[in-house]
Amino acid sequence: MGVALEDDRIDAHYQPILRLDTREIVGFEALCRMTTPSGEIIAAAHFHEATKDAHIAAELTQRMLVRVARDIRSWLARGLPLQHVGINLSAADFRGGNLQDRLCRIFGEAEVPLEHIILEVTESVYLGQRDYVVADEIKALRSKGLRVALDDFGTGYASLTHLLTVPVDIIKIDKSFIDRMVPGDAGTVIVEGLIGIAHKLGIRVVAEGIETEPQAVQLSQLGCKLGQGYLFSKAVDRTVAAAILEQHGQRLNQDKTRAGAL
């Protein structure tokens, strides 16, 4: 991983987040990708072990933040209808102690308003710290205008009671629940319950890992407005992302509701 960073083989790819009713793109999730010396592009899951090194994790986040800031600035300058980009953060990012300064500096230098950024934090990172460092830092970041998504919801430490006390703007329902949305499975009941509770708490919901049209239709019927997954698009490079954003991005104006926006 260190060599890949030195060789500039780490880059951001973008998976669209769409409105399930109109299929318009409301944002992206930025995902880390590494290009091998032979030219193969591999996902972060294949080099996850390397990111457990605090130094590597910090360098990786720094690279991603800089690339994402540059891409957002480019898209905004072109007048593309970009709303938000989600960026994944690790426990090491919070333990570094200067996360807020780094975020404000990087996006400030790129002239990217923080309202375009969503910080995606897994349950295990957010709720696994007994000293509340992560929660306190996130509260401070939210005060700066950043929004926070609780990623992979349902797979870690969180329970529904946490939604009453943990400051989040979005929950992303994990793919494992979406996969179980079949007749007779409790997964559908759980997803429906999560959507209903989140809406009443004023929290947006994104369904992750949608792979089939019946899943998308069922989620929409249950009241879920937003989703991402291979049914719509895999993570793509910045050039393709810009092209599909130009063609399918949700363009907001006075006559169009932000109901589907994050």
List pLDDT tens digits, range 90-141.
888 887 778 889 999 999 999 999 999 999 988 777 766 555 777 788 888 8
Phi/psi at 18 (5° precision): -125, 155
Name the 3-class secondary structure at 74: helix
- The pLDDT score that the predictor gives to residue 182 is 84
Look at residue 123 in the predicted model and tell me its pLDDT. Answer: 76
Render pLDDT for 233-253 as a digit per residue (tens, 0 to 9): 999 999 999 999 999 999 987
DSSP string, 119-144: EEEEHHHHHS-TT-HHHHHHHHHHHT
> pLDDT tens digit string along 189-206?
989 998 998 999 899 999
Q: Which helix (H) or strand (E) segment is 65 a member of?
A: helix 54-77
Contact 122, 149 (CB under 8 A): no
15 strand-pairing partners: 29
Please state, for a pLDDT cut of 70, what percent of the chain lies above it.
87
Asked if the model's pLDDT at residue 178 lies above 90, the reply is yes
